Amino acid sequence: MEVLLTEQERMFQQQMRDFVEAEIAPYADEWDRRNELAYEAFQKMASIGLAGLTIPEEYGGQGGSMMDAFIASVEFARASISVASIFGTHTGLALSGMYHYGNEEQRRRFVVPAAKGEKLCAYGLTEHEASSDISRMSTTARREGDEWIINGAKCFISNGDTADTILLFATVDKQLGSKGITAFVVEKGMPGFSVGKVEDKLGIRAESAAELMFDDVHIPVANQIGEVGKGMRIALTILDEGRLDVSGQGVGVASAALDAAIAYSKQRQQFGQPISEFQGIQWMMVDMATAVDAAWLLGYRAAKLADSGVRFTKEVAQAKLFAANTAMDVTRKALQIHGGYGYMKDLPLERYYRDAKILEIYEGTSEVQKLVISRALLS
């Protein structure tokens, strides 16, 4: 598939692959067992400029494209979806939102240090009663003079327990539904802001999912991002970029599982021959390889559209939906090809399988992606 990439994109892909193989892959299992956000991984990516990959150089970033972001997600996820999620949440959701919708002063104050990797960001959208239906958001923002006062809670927030800066969404009036949602920046250490429960998860255990609590948190009006009531549009636009990252995660973990299955099938002997000689195994791997290529092509198309500046909501929903399905199917089949060994923690297959499930859930469930796609088809 690399033939479709430009020479510069192929060079970046190889740089990413070399970096991940040297600095991420050797530690992925250890970070998973530790069951906490792998902050070392963020520091490693920040050291080579990846924390601000898609942010212009004048704001501390690398000025990379959405195709670069897609490639980075794929390569990170070959080793660890957790690390890909840390990257995508920081760069593709929170930091991107602050850059695209913040004013010049906010870009200098919030974007520059985060793009340089000096601060880790989170994206505060999901609530217990408002996940897929964010118009039911109950976290509130009340204006008093030159401040906003935030009350409420968020849940399942990636990077949440460690983040220095949170791009938060709250409603100025619950009666307004989606038209009351507004974006703000909340910073670690603000009185009234605290971290609640940090979830113990099935997969992506080197990434955190935290509850964030807001009890009369006073933030200056200067921390408001965009116009009052325009937060829903901001959130949904940013989610398109996040879904591109997730589609890359699906391609990455499926690619790693396929590579492992091919290598193992050539080594494993049964009935006097490698199991790769059995047609049942061959056809299984054919289906796996075809799905991986198709997922990559859907992500590639979405990234190209994003870089062209046109709306890509339907296309990225298709990419995420298919990549999530592919990741689940390919990791399951790869584990099956490994047999009992695949079920053991000595090999990364069981981690791939556990991690892949999240792709059908976060940044919009697979059911939500179908809703987005069907609306686009029928509009």
* Residues 283-299: tens digit of each pLDDT: 999 999 999 999 999 99
The CA-to-CA distance between both ends of the chain, in Å, stands at 33
The confidence score (pLDDT) of residue 133 equals 83
Query: What contacts 50, CB < 8 A, 6 or more positions away?
Result: 62, 72, 87, 91, 117
Residues of the chain with CATH 1.10.540.10: 2-115
What are the start and end residues of each CATH 2.40.110.10 domain in the chain? 121-228
Q: How far is C-alpha 210 from the chain's CA centre?
A: 15
Please report which confidence band the pLDDT of residue 40 belongs to, taking 50, 70 and 90 as the band edges: very high
The answer regarding whether domain 2-115 maps to CATH 1.10.540.10 reads yes
Range name among 133-142, 221-230, 237-246 with the lowest pLDDT average:
133-142
* Fold (CATH) for 232-378: Butyryl-CoA Dehydrogenase, subunit A; domain 3 (1.20.140)
Of the pLDDT bands very low, low, confident and very high (cuts 50, 70, 90), residue 254 is: very high
Q: What is the rounded distance in angstroms from the CA atom of residue 366 to the CA atom of residue 379?
A: 20
Distance between CA 205 and CA 158 in Å, rounded? 11
Task: Please check the confidence at residue 340 and state whether its pLDDT lies above 90.
Answer: yes
367 belongs to the catalytic site: no
Rounded distance between C-alpha atoms, residue 175 and residue 178, angstroms: 9
Among 91, 208, 120, 121, smallest CA distance to 156 is for 208
Structure tokens at 68: 């670069």
* pLDDT given for residue 130 in this prediction: 79
Cβ within 8 Å of residue 68, ≥6 positions away:
9, 12, 53, 54, 62
**What number is the average pLDDT over the span 142-157?**
98
Which fold would CATH assign to domain 121-228?
Butyryl-CoA Dehydrogenase, subunit A; domain 2 (2.40.110)
Query: CATH 1.20.140.10 region(s) of the chain?
Result: 232-378
pLDDT of residue 132: 75
Choosing from 129, 360, 363, 367, which is the catalytic residue? Answer: 363
Per the confidence metrics, is the pTM higher than 0.85? yes
Contact 93, 114 (CB under 8 A): no
